[in-house]
Amino acid sequence: MSVIESANRASDVASETDLSTLWRPIRFGPVESRNRVMFSAHATWHEPERYAAYLGARAKGGAGAIFTGAMCVHPSSHNGWINAWEPETAAHYRGWVDAVHEHGSILVPQLHHMGLQGMPAQTFAMMSNVVSPSGGMSSPMWGHFGHELRKPEIAEMVDYFARSAEIAREGGMDGVEIHAAHGYLLFSFLSPLTNQRTDEYGGSVENRSRIVVETIRAVRARVGDDYMVGLKYGFDEKVGPLGITPEDAQACLRFIASETNIDYVSLSGSGYHALQQLVPTAESELSGHMAEYGPLVREVVGDIPIMATCGVRTIDQAAEIVASGKVDVVGMVRPQLADPELVNKAKSGRKVEIRPCVGANQGCWRRMGRGGQITCTVNPESGREAEWKDVFNTAAEPGRVLVIGGGPAGLKAAESAARRGHQVLLVERENELGGQLRAAGALPGRAQWLRLISSLTDSIDRLGVKVRLGVDATPDTAREFGADMTVVATGSHYAVDGFSIYRPDRRSIPGLESIRVLDPATVIADPTLAGARTLIVDDHGAHLAMGLAELLAVQGRHVELITAHGQIGHDTGLKGSVDFPTMYPRLIAAGVRCTAEATVERIEGSTVELAHTYGAWARTLTDIDSIILSQTRRPDDALYDILVEAGLAVELIGDAYAPRDVDEAIYEGALSAIDVHSNRTLEFRVVNAAAC
């Protein structure tokens, strides 16, 4: 049985889960949600019109309750997005509400102040004055220090929360959610770690909870008792005894609930000290973990609904959590980025058609961490709902599309062309589909990539795409099929010539020819080729080299991983894919030696000399059996030129255009073959992609 078949078998077993508990309506005070699946709050940085289409797609897809990204309530927390305290924001709300109510969902803005996690001033519009309960406290994310709020300033913050809630009601929102989690301002008052005040806002449970109580009361005074008011609550800071522990969180919540009138508690935890708990990746075993605190919350809030946002990746797991009674509602963000129709598909018995979230955190979290608008690695339509609304309509003149290459770009291109009504033939020279995703899925903790292959192959099968494996495509292949358009998605390969952009003083590593040189894909396919002692050289800082190092080390090999960067896996940290906090301890436990700021100076047989990037040290390795180079990637694009010279209409996409991430491959596959009757060349495809 292949690894993909194993993944499918596991999915088939899970498909027997009873989902009926998810479809029961539930009331949050005066408002009813049609089911128990919510689309939880998260930042997108989308413009208001784009955001309306984005939210509307999840409502159309069946989500019961939808929560906006956190809306800043005060000028000192301005993050460059839409401000909840400004009266004109009510107009934006009305557009969002219309898009969501049209399809039967409820919409709630999340009101928050970023506090210590206020973002640096990236633009002139983002002048955040960082504030905190106590002086001398800094952000674990940005490192800057906050101004200690005085009592009049606290009163001003409370008033701005209330003002923002009033604007939400004027804008037609179904309620408001007060954010007291994730290290933001209200939570930082609750936490003994960041609140070291000695006045009535610090010290005891009652004092640390005071600002939350005052905020909820002020909001109620503005919106009334007939309006939904909920609390987003961080139950465990995940930093140890100096922070909010479950016991302390329960005590604070008991006081808050006794002093206010809230309609639900949305349970979460951790923050920027332990971000991997909040946005667990495919590497992590964490999923559904925050729901475990549900019974402790129930003890202090009684019968009001309890929600949980906790990295739930499948509808089956959501149903199991709700059926257990730990919480009443489960949030699913990334799975509904991957497939907005998740709820509808599950409810109508089409779970097999749900596009899976792979937990890569690339299109969503990493883009946001870099200041970009979020989308989804596996679903490029996410965030582009407005401008792509007609992209997959049936073509006025359906034609024939030949797709060459069965990796992520080719699979997506075949699916998209078939969705437009074209006849599609997919040709792959290997005997399996998936391309580099197969190698990625063979690394520890990355089997989710195999689910994506399975999802895409199942989809093209349902759409009637014909597939030929083990075939080398030629111009005759296109002519025999009668292709109106040929899409070249032939991928890329890792070069093993030793060139590194971080050693511009040379074209290769001196002595490289004297040792066994391997590329990552070859080693993943056959780890025995690496020998007993191997050196991995990584220029990219992504998951691949770290995953490969772990794969070899757990098999008993001696592995050293080096990079010219200041940290191994530099693209997997808190502003990247968030794999690092999970993976790095595993590498150390497996015995991998990790060396940053290092390059290979020269090689002589089994002896390898390393040099510090800035000349601080040199070190010699002996008895090395192989060197694995994760450095230069080159496109396999020769066939494109051959097809163009043959006079055929051709597009070049994915890594064959330029080696990048799977995100770009799937994006370009989705956009390919829009007009199969035009003799489009590379330039047209680039213009088209940029426009979308």
Q: What is residue 613's DSSP assignment?
A: T
Q: Do domains 400-487+636-691 and 494-634 have the same CATH topology?
A: no
Which pLDDT belongs to residue 679?
Answer: 59
Predicted confidence (pLDDT) at residue 335 exceeds the cutoff of 70: yes
Predicted confidence (pLDDT) at residue 4 exceeds the cutoff of 60: no
**What's the mean pLDDT in 193-206?**
97
Which run of H or E residues covers position 409?
helix 408-419
Alpha helices in 230-369 (DSSP H): 246-259, 275-278, 294-301, 315-324, 334-338, 342-347, 367-369
Tens digits of per-residue pLDDT, 559-578? 999 999 999 999 998 888 88
CATH class for the region spanning 400-487+636-691:
alpha beta
Which pLDDT belongs to residue 163?
Answer: 98
CATH class for the region spanning 494-634:
alpha beta
Average pLDDT of the residues of the chain: 93
**What's the mean pLDDT in 97-118?**
95
Which pLDDT belongs to residue 120?
Answer: 66
Reported confidence tier of residue 373, pLDDT bands at 50, 70, 90: very high
Predicted confidence (pLDDT) at residue 18 exceeds the cutoff of 60: yes
CB distance 306 to 296 below 8 Å: no
CA 423 centroid distance within chain? 33
Q: CB within 8 A of 550, min separation 6: which ones?
A: 443, 444, 583, 586, 587, 590, 592
Which pLDDT belongs to residue 458?
Answer: 98
Reported confidence tier of residue 161, pLDDT bands at 50, 70, 90: very high
CA 402 centroid distance within chain? 32
- Residues labelled as active-site residues: 184
Which pLDDT belongs to residue 272?
Answer: 80
Which pLDDT belongs to residue 680?
Answer: 54
Which pLDDT belongs to residue 154?
Answer: 98
Tens digits of per-residue pLDDT, 235-244? 999 899 999 9
Predicted confidence (pLDDT) at residue 205 exceeds the cutoff of 50: yes
Predicted confidence (pLDDT) at residue 1 exceeds the cutoff of 70: no
**What's the mean pLDDT in 80-98?**
95
Q: CB within 8 A of 660, min separation 6: which ones?
A: none
Q: pTM for the whole thing? A: 0.93
Per-domain residue ranges of the chain: 36-369, 400-487+636-691, 494-634
Residue 476 Cα distances to 417, 427, 481, 549, angstroms: 21, 13, 8, 43
Which pLDDT belongs to residue 691?
Answer: 38
Which pLDDT belongs to residue 529?
Answer: 98
Which pLDDT belongs to residue 682?
Answer: 44
Please give the single-letter amino acid code of residue 239. V
Please state which CATH number belongs to domain 36-369. Answer: 3.20.20.70
Alpha helices in 536-605 (DSSP H): 543-553, 580-589
Predicted confidence (pLDDT) at residue 660 exceeds the cutoff of 90: yes
Residue 95 Cα distances to 65, 170, 325, 373, 487, angstroms: 17, 13, 35, 20, 39
Tens digits of per-residue pLDDT, 593-608? 999 999 999 999 999 9
Predicted confidence (pLDDT) at residue 377 exceeds the cutoff of 60: yes
Give the C-alpha separation, 401 to 680, whole Å: 13
Q: Please give the share of the chain, as a percent, with pLDDT higher than 90.
A: 83
Tens digits of per-residue pLDDT, 415-471? 999 999 999 999 999 999 999 999 999 999 999 999 999 999 999 999 999 999 999
Which run of H or E residues covers position 217?
helix 210-223
Which pLDDT belongs to residue 13?
Answer: 42
Residue 98 Cα distances to 91, 95, 105, 176, 598, angstroms: 11, 5, 10, 17, 56
